[in-house]
């Protein structure tokens, strides 16, 4: 492979992650987050088990940059940083797999964007999808792209057009709090799971539909920043309890409340993490030996 070209999925992943570090507030938070994450494992680099364990502490890492502000602007920047941190963490977990977690809408192939579009009459509306995880078909493992991603849009659209029924998509809505936000993912999941609402709304356009995908799921990931005592029978918990893609937070799994963010790998990306030449732990141990958490 030319040194100027990168395997398709990893070229997209590199672009996604490099874009995160172009976000001024994310880049400002990174010098606080990186030493915190480095301190959570021994040795020169993390093992696969260390990265999974980090999922239990993502909330603590994120709150390391919090000043306790609750203004709308503070919450907005916090929300953007939270989805950025979740995007970075999941892509770290998914290195050398067919799944890429994408934050920028412009990187989502057109057929998938169309499938996610909800039409209210003649008015298109898109889900509040902070992140879209795409498990591309195996054919992309033989595809390469220039490092600058030139030609990506055309190639990605061609892949989706030819192999749409072999693609898996998981929308991940990321919010810093829980109580104020849990209703939205519940409603979007209902919309995507439905067959439409008579003449009021329909899912998909240009003959693209999430129902034609190999798998579609809708997930929720929260910090959370609320100091509420979380119980399985309170309204916010009940609203996200049955999401098709699961309910996650940056803390250890609490039965009947929320799963640790790393659990999303088995629930929604199992095809990607089990289809490599080596099993996930062995492959990622090799990958992480080549990386430093200090570098994007």
**Cβ proximity of 269 and 276 under 8 Å:** no
Look at the chain and report how many structural domains it folds into: 1
pLDDT one-digit tens code per residue, 11-38: 999 999 999 999 999 999 999 999 999 9
Region class of 22: left (phi > 0), else alpha (psi between -120 and 50), else beta: alpha
pLDDT one-digit tens code per residue, 149-207: 889 999 999 999 999 999 999 999 998 887 667 778 888 888 888 765 655 778 889 99
Find where tokens 């057109």 sit.
110
**Count of helices and strands (H, E) across the chain:** 12, 11
Give the C-alpha separation, 30 to 151, whole Å: 31
In a domain, 55, yes or no: yes
276: confidence class by pLDDT, cuts 50, 70, 90: confident
In a domain, 296, yes or no: no
In a domain, 36, yes or no: yes
At 260, list the tokens: 């640790």
pLDDT one-digit tens code per residue, 84-141: 999 999 999 999 999 999 998 899 999 999 999 987 766 766 665 689 999 999 989 8
pLDDT one-digit tens code per residue, 194-243: 765 655 778 889 999 999 999 999 999 999 887 666 666 666 666 777 79
Range of the domain at 55: 5-289
Q: For 261-268, what is the mean pLDDT?
A: 96
Phi, psi of 270 (to 5 degrees): -60, -40
Q: Is the pLDDT of residue 69 over 50?
A: no
Q: Is 83 exposed, middle or buried (CB count within 10 Å of its CB: 0-12, 13-18, 19+)? A: buried
Residue 182, pLDDT score: 75
In a domain, 152, yes or no: yes
List the one residue out of 170, 110, 165, 109 whose CA is nearest residue 134: 170
In a domain, 22, yes or no: yes
In a domain, 205, yes or no: yes
In a domain, 295, yes or no: no
Give the C-alpha separation, 58 to 53, whole Å: 9
The helix-helix angle for 152-163 and 8-20 (nearest 10°) equals 130
**Cβ proximity of 143 and 7 under 8 Å:** yes
Q: Is the pLDDT of residue 76 over 70?
A: no
Find where tokens 């000043």 sit.
67
In a domain, 191, yes or no: yes
């Amino acid at each position: 492979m030319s040194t100027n070209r990168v395997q398709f999925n990893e070229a997209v992943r590199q672009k996604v992650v490099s874009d995160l570090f172009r976000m001024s507030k994310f880049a400002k938070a990174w010098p606080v987050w990186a030493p915190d994450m480095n301190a959570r494992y021994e040795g020169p680099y993390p093992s696969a088990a260390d990265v999974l364990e980090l999922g239990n502490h993502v909330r603590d890492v994120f709150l390391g940059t919090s000043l306790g502000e609750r203004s709308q602007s503070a919450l907005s920047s916090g929300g953007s940083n939270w989805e950025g941190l979740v995007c970075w963490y999941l892509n770290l977990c998914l290195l050398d797999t067919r799944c890429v977690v994408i934050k920028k809408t412009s990187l989502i192939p057109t057929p998938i964007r169309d499938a996610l579009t909800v039409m209210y009459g003649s008015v298109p509306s898109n889900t509040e999808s902070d992140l879209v995880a795409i498990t591309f078909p195996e054919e992309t493992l033989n595809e390469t792209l220039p490092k600058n991603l030139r030609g990506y849009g055309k190639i990605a659209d061609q892949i989706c057009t030819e192999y749409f029924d072999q693609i898996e998509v998981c929308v991940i809505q990321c919010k810093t709090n829980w109580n104020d936000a849990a209703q939205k993912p519940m409603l979007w999941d209902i919309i995507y799971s439905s067959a439409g609402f008579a003449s009021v709304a329909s899912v998909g356009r240009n003959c693209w539909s999430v129902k034609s995908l190999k798998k579609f799921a809708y997930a929720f990931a929260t910090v959370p920043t609320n100091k509420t005592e979380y119980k399985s029978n309170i309204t916010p918990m009940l609203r996200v309890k049955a999401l098709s893609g699961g309910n996650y937070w940056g803390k250890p799994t609490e039965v009947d409340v929320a799963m640790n963010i790393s659990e999303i790998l088995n629930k929604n990306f199992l095809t990607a993490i089990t289809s490599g030449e080596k099993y996930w732990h062995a492959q990622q141990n090799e990958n992480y030996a080549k990386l430093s958490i200090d570098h994007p």
